[in-house]
Structure 1
Amino acid sequence: MKGSSVRPSAGRSLKTAPKTRSKAAPASADIGLQARKSQATQRAVLEATIRCLVEHGYTNTTMESIAKSARISRGAIMHHYASRADVIACTADYLATLRLDEFSKGVCAKVAQEVGVQAPTLHSFRRSAELVMQYYERPSFTALHELLVAARTDRSIAPLMKRIEKRINRQMLSLVVEYLPYWENLPATESVLVDLLHFLSRGVAMSQTNKLERERQHALLDLLATVAYERFQADSQNSRGRAAG
């Protein structure tokens, strides 16, 4: 991400410290302050870009709209980012990290805390399905989805989004095993059930004009939990049978 290097303020060299301060303190204090301001500005730009993607879509997410949402000047943005493409690329990486953090804390950690880390039950699968569905209702998914859809026709971001999607999918599986270690012995089952939960939840989340009523959503989650539980049970028995044989 651009803007991580620290520049001295205009008209003052880092070596020209006021005489009323110690020789070492001004440079380190100024650099620390500038670094914090730089990081705060960059974060404001990335958060504003996410809001613009959610509210206006990819095409209408311009430098002007980002500056307005972040409440900073376009010049301040250009100090840290070379172009709109640079902002989009950094936002995509930021979104990947954000989505993985939300999955870790909002899904995996909650399942482990609420239902334990022993072999899953029908209840734990039902809770997992509910949390995954909520995970795809977050603004971060809407913003990421805007970029993924745009990558279909915008070749400038297609390689970037392909890399981002692979990163998220790969690390999601690692997080599941990290928090719920019983999946380590059934990697194929874990993979197919994660795909089932995630792709179905993504489809529901993308249906902006056809929201499921609460009763239909609950019925869908019940079905998902039942299918996942039965698949886990069957594959676990088969795995134990192969180990015994």
Structure 2
Amino acid sequence: MTEAKAHRTQAQRREQTRTALLDATVECLVDIGYARASMQEICARAGVSKGAVQHHFATKAELMAAAVEHLTTKLRTQLASSLEDLPGGASGVEAAIDLLWAGYSGTLSTAVTELWVAARTDPELRTAIRPVDRALGRATLAHVSQVAGDLPKERAETLFWLTVNLTRGLALDAELGGDPNRRRKLLQEWKRIAVLMYSQP
């Protein structure tokens, strides 16, 4: 085996271990929550030793932030691909809101909500996840702006952040067992308002 091939194989193994740890972390956040997501449980689910974690992440907070970044990167890639196929005009606005709702709810919402709540009283965790959350917002806004056509930048950003914050609130409502019919009505009403904002001269 050549040195280059051996090095490549070692790098691949390291990446596989890292990915397994990140996937297991997200799984723990969703299944059992942040408080019970111990390093021992994460390692057991990932099928790696506790010592292996130290080669990739210095602290639990760093691992948690990396796990959310890992998840959001995958979702952002999917979202970017979907945004490219959006129709123009008002129908495109409604479709974009549906995409953002799908992206900011579900697994991502559950994992991030767990970390936000924990970060309120954990400065180390808050410091670790804040740049990840901001990077997701900036990257997604950039994709949305590309398909916004001639919409003024300020209005596009307002529509985007209103949508993100509404969908996050609705996702939390879903986590707490809120009425799904009410969520659908609120989302539909927001789409109506957003189309009006989009259509303003």
The interval holding the TM-score normalised by the smaller chain is 0.7 to 0.9
Do structure 1's residue 225 and structure 2's residue 201 form an aligned pair?
no
TM-score (norm 1): 0.73
Aligned to 1:200: 166
- CA offsets, 1:74-125, max 9 Å, x none? 233234333423422432432442343243235x23xxx2x42x3x12x333
C-alpha contact (below 8 Å) 1:49/1:91 kept by paired residues? yes
Per the TM alignment, residue 60 of structure 1 is displaced from its structure 2 partner at its CA by 1.4
Q: Unpaired runs of 5+ in structure 2?
A: none
C-alpha contact (below 8 Å) 1:98/1:140 kept by paired residues? no
How many residues were matched structurally? 200
- CA offsets, 1:172-212, max 9 Å, x none? 2111122x0415x4111111111221111111111212333
- CA offsets, 1:22-55, max 9 Å, x none? xxx4312211111111110110001101111111
**Cα distance between partner residues in 2 of 1:197 and 1:80:** 35
Give secondary structure in 2 for the equivalent of 1:58. Answer: coil
Q: What amino acid is the match of 1:224?
A: W
**Cα distance between partner residues in 1 of 2:13 and 2:155:** 47
Aligned to 2:149: 182
Do structure 1's residue 90 and structure 2's residue 52 form an aligned pair?
no
Do structure 1's residue 42 and structure 2's residue 21 form an aligned pair?
no
- Percent pairwise identity: 25
Do structure 1's residue 152 and structure 2's residue 152 form an aligned pair?
no
Do structure 1's residue 161 and structure 2's residue 137 form an aligned pair?
no
Give secondary structure in 2 for the equivalent of 1:81. Answer: coil
Q: What amino acid is the match of 1:211?
A: G
State which of 125, 130, 137 in structure 1 corresponds to 2:105.
137
**Cα distance between partner residues in 2 of 1:134 and 1:90:** 21
**Cα distance between partner residues in 1 of 2:50 and 2:161:** 41
C-alpha contact (below 8 Å) 2:21/2:46 kept by paired residues? yes
Q: Unpaired runs of 5+ in structure 1?
A: 1-24, 238-245
RMSD of the alignment, in Å?
2.1
Decide whether aligned partners of structure 1 residues 64 and 146 sit closer, same or farther in structure 2, where only a CA change above 3 A counts.
same
Aligned to 1:212: 179
Bigger relative contact order (CA 8 A; separation at least 6): 2
C-alpha contact (below 8 Å) 2:68/2:112 kept by paired residues? yes
**Cα distance between partner residues in 2 of 1:181 and 1:196:** 15
Of Structure 1 and Structure 2, which has the larger fraction of its residues in helix?
A: 2
**Cα distance between partner residues in 2 of 1:46 and 1:135:** 19
